[in-house]
Amino acid sequence: MRFALSALLLAVSACAQDHTTEAGEAAIDDPALECAPYSYAPVHAAQASFPAIWQPVTSVPASDTVARAKFLAMNSSIPKIPPKGTLAGDFDAFSPTYSATDPDCWWTDTKCVTPKLSGLKPDIANVPEPRTLGYGFDDGPNCSHNAFYDYLTEKKQKATMFYIGSNVFDWPLQAQRAVADGHEICVHTWSHRYMTAFPNEGAFGELYYTMQAIKLVTGVTPTCWRGQERRVGFQRAATEG
Ligand SMILES: *[C@@H]1O[C@H](CO)[C@@H](O)[C@H](O)[C@H]1NC(C)=O
Ligand SMILES: *[C@@H]1O[C@H](CO)[C@@H](O)[C@H](O)[C@H]1NC(C)=O
Ligand SMILES: [Zn+2]
């Protein structure tokens, strides 16, 4: 009887899922259990002052006075570049009309990484030190990523994790694992749509609310981002050469 009871306790603890702490979540090794939804109080409490998850951010509401003031303070210095393409990444209707001189430094068109407007820093597009590798992983945090993080730890590798704000709100304990393991976190937008398709206010919101979500959940304020970009070549009209 005594034996049976301890065997039972062992069985219970072996499949215990602790979805209340970072360490508890990080210790779950069954992907299906890792992905069991849970509620995290700080996210639950803040949700009403954030955009709906997975919805493109189209505006910064007047009710968010802090965000609104920030946007208005920088609005006049944001380049007035009209949106291109659709949020889903269809540039076909737009591409024949875009100037071959690439005035906006549109990476999808020319792989441009040095802005043509003055005062803007070039993109970080390579690692300056020789014989050095920079790892960047997009689209996290992913609910079942423990095996991946375990692997990085085993290989003593640090990486830069580009987090989607909506995933941070869905999987806040998983988001904390990057910090616990010493990785860097950058912004990969709120809703994971194509950034060139947003008007300026929406683009601001996509970045701002993802920064706020990462700060709320991990305590870290990210200072870097990259967006969802088109992976296939830009179709320029043949007559443009
Ligand atoms: C931001 O500036 C542009 C013009 O530069 C203006 O059209 C737009 O209304 C401004 N946005 C807000 C929210 O004031
Ligand atoms: C996590 O990653 C897997 C493998 O890439 C993918 O199939 C799944 O949709 C991701 N889950 C979430 C919640 O993003
Ligand atoms: Zn992505």
**Looking at the structure, do residues 9 and 71 belong to the same domain, yes or no?**
no
**Looking at the structure, do residues 75 and 8 belong to the same domain, yes or no?**
no
**Looking at the structure, do residues 137 and 234 belong to the same domain, yes or no?**
yes
- pLDDT tens digits in sequence order for the chain, 241 residues long: 444 544 444 444 445 689 999 999 999 999 999 999 999 999 999 999 999 999 999 999 999 999 999 999 999 988 888 888 899 988 887 767 888 899 888 887 888 999 998 888 898 888 888 888 888 999 999 999 999 999 999 999 999 999 999 999 999 999 999 999 999 999 999 999 999 899 999 999 999 999 999 999 999 999 999 988 655 444 444 333 3
Quick check: helix, strand or coil at residue 73?
helix
DSSP-derived secondary structure letter, 131: T
DSSP-derived secondary structure letter, 114: S
What pLDDT is recorded for position 235? 47
Atom of ligand 1 nearest to the CA of 75: 1
**Looking at the structure, do residues 29 and 46 belong to the same domain, yes or no?**
no
Query: 223 in ligand 1 pocket by Cβ < 6 Å?
Result: no
* Strands of the chain, DSSP E: 136-140, 160-163, 184-187
Query: 168 in ligand 2 pocket by Cβ < 6 Å?
Result: no
What pLDDT is recorded for position 141? 98
What pLDDT is recorded for position 229? 65
Q: Rounded to the nearest 10 degrees, how much is the dihedral formed by the CA atoms of 53, 56, 62, 67?
A: 80
Quick check: helix, strand or coil at residue 163?
strand
**Looking at the structure, do residues 22 and 109 belong to the same domain, yes or no?**
no
CA 165/CA 43 separation, integer angstroms: 12
Give the residue, by CA position, lying nearest to ligand 1 atom 5.
76
> Is the pTM above the cut of 0.85?
yes
Interval between CA 35 and ligand 2 midpoint (Å):
9
**Looking at the structure, do residues 154 and 221 belong to the same domain, yes or no?**
yes
**Number of domains the chain contains:** 2
What pLDDT is recorded for position 33? 96
- Give the number of whichever ligand sits closest to the CA of residue 81: 1
Query: 164 in ligand 2 pocket by Cβ < 6 Å?
Result: no
Looking at residue 195, which CATH number applies to its domain? 3.20.20
Query: 143 in ligand 2 pocket by Cβ < 6 Å?
Result: yes
**Looking at the structure, do residues 114 and 219 belong to the same domain, yes or no?**
yes
Answer positive or negative: Cα dihedral of 91, 228, 234, 106.
positive
What pLDDT is recorded for position 241? 30
What pLDDT is recorded for position 11? 44
Tokens of 17: 């899922």
Ligand 2 mutation pick, 35, 142, 143, max ligand atoms within 8 A of CB: 142
**Looking at the structure, do residues 52 and 11 belong to the same domain, yes or no?**
no
**Looking at the structure, do residues 16 and 45 belong to the same domain, yes or no?**
no
Instruction: List the domain range (segments joined by +) for residue 145.
Output: 41-240
Give the residue, by CA position, lying nearest to ligand 1 atom 1.
75
Among residues 98, 130, 132, 104, the alpha carbon closest in space to that of 117 is found at 104
Query: 20 in ligand 1 pocket by Cβ < 6 Å?
Result: no
**Looking at the structure, do residues 157 and 189 belong to the same domain, yes or no?**
yes
CA 123/CA 229 separation, integer angstroms: 14
Strand partners, 194: 228
Cα 239 to Cα 97, 99, 103, 122, 232, distances in angstroms: 11, 12, 19, 31, 20
What pLDDT is recorded for position 231? 52
Cα 157 to Cα 97, 213, 224, distances in angstroms: 44, 25, 20
**Looking at the structure, do residues 111 and 199 belong to the same domain, yes or no?**
yes
**Looking at the structure, do residues 20 and 94 belong to the same domain, yes or no?**
no
Among residues 139, 211, 202, the alpha carbon closest in space to that of 171 is found at 139
DSSP-derived secondary structure letter, 160: E
Ligand 1 mutation pick, 59, 75, 76, 77, max ligand atoms within 8 A of CB: 75
